[in-house]
Amino acid sequence: MREITYLEAIREAMTQEMERDERVFMIGEDIGEYGGAFQVSYGMLEQFGPERILDVPITELALTGAAVGAALIGMRPIAEIMFMDFTTLASEQLVNQAAKLRFMFGGKATVPMVLRTPSGSGTGAAEHHSQSLENWFTHIPGLKVVQPSTPYDAKGLLVSSIRDNNAVVFVEHKLLYKTKGPVPEELYTIPLGQADIKREGKDLTIIATAVMVQRSLQAAEELAKEGIDVEVVDPRTLRPLDKDTLINSVKKTGKVLIVHEAVKTSGIGGEFAAVIAESEAFGYLEAPIMRLAGEEIPIPYNRMLEYHAVPQVENIIEKARDLAQLKV
């Protein structure tokens, strides 16, 4: 199978869905002639024209509201927020309108929109362009939250998100845009709410999200040289969450390390831990549930400080090694 980048997989998903369904369109800042802040929509203006690639002024609140309105009347908008940090400005329309309207109208109205946004650190973009806020939106009933870690997952999950009749927050990590992987040329879907075991193992489970999946896989390869067999589980969608896959993995290994980039306090790792603790997997635990997450600080501009503000491969190795040797 051919290999393409995560960025190209996202562009291909949008392009193929727009070719298939005339109701699908894009709306965002600098997505037209410029091709998007990270060039995800490069070339799409020439293919689809300004009526379907809507380049708008700098107003996240308005463009999200326009997407909500368009979705209510039968369109399927893909709204791009340039950096996840700026979803704070779009939150009123996303949280108070998009998430609630289907419920408020008893299912007679739907809001089939996708809000795409890049998250995370690693590019030296400092405090206002490097945050991981995905767990904010998992707290809101009515929103679905998707966070793919591979090009294959990015395409399949985005197609499913575009076709879903609910509002979806689609979170793309900046450092993944240039990563490559096998992706079919044809359209395909990956169901929302279906986790994936990226690596089978028997000694301990690592549950990781976004770029931390790749770092956990690297850590697992190094730990294998020490005789520690790690299973890496990628939830892929944070809401709805595939609890069964997480629980069954922990039942198999008896130990779990949860890794994400966002700060530990109120991060998605707390939800994963609660799911395990409230399930039959709790009785299989051979050691306490452990979490590894970002430091409790804004992301620094200084590149070395930025590096140490979030988990790296060596941190995952150290934490997993400690866990593997730990007994209750």
- Looking at the chain, the whole-number percentage of residues with pLDDT higher than 90 is 98
Asked whether residue 74 carries a pLDDT value surpassing 70, the answer given is yes
Task: Report in angstroms the alpha-carbon separations of 181 from 1, 10, 167, 178.
Answer: 9, 12, 28, 10
pLDDT for the residue 312: 98
196-325 has the same fold as 3-182 = yes
For the domain covering 3-182, report its CATH number.
3.40.50.970
* Residue 308 neighbours by CB under 8 Å, 6+ apart: 295
For the domain covering 196-325, report its CATH number.
3.40.50.920
Asked whether residue 153 carries a pLDDT value surpassing 70, the answer given is yes
Among 241, 164, 240, 211, which Cα is nearest to 232's? Answer: 211
pLDDT for the residue 120: 97
pLDDT for the residue 40: 98
pLDDT level of residue 77 (50, 70, 90 thresholds): very high
Task: Report in angstroms the alpha-carbon separations of 67 from 38, 104, 143, 284, 286.
Answer: 21, 18, 14, 46, 48
pLDDT for the residue 118: 98
Could you report the per-residue pLDDT of 194-216, keeping only the tens digit for each?
A: 999 999 999 999 999 999 999 99
Mean pLDDT of 286-307: 97
Asked whether residue 104 carries a pLDDT value surpassing 70, the answer given is yes
Asked whether residue 81 carries a pLDDT value surpassing 80, the answer given is yes
pLDDT for the residue 302: 96
Mean pLDDT of 143-155: 98
The pair phi, psi for residue 248, each rounded to 5°, is -65, -35
> Domain ranges in the chain?
3-182, 196-325
pLDDT for the residue 1: 85
Whole-number mean pLDDT of the chain? 97
pLDDT level of residue 326 (50, 70, 90 thresholds): confident
Mean pLDDT of 253-269: 98
Asked whether residue 79 carries a pLDDT value surpassing 90, the answer given is yes
DSSP 30-75: S-SSS--TTSTTTTHHHHH-TTTEEE--S-HHHHHHHHHHHHHTT-
| Angle, vertex CA 184, rays to CA 221 and CA 212, nearest 5 | 30
Active-site residue identified among 128, 129, 173, 260: 129
Give the number of residues written for the chain.
328
Mean pLDDT of 173-192: 98
Q: Which pTM was predicted?
A: 0.97
Please confirm, yes or no, whether 129 is among the known catalytic residues: yes
pLDDT level of residue 328 (50, 70, 90 thresholds): low
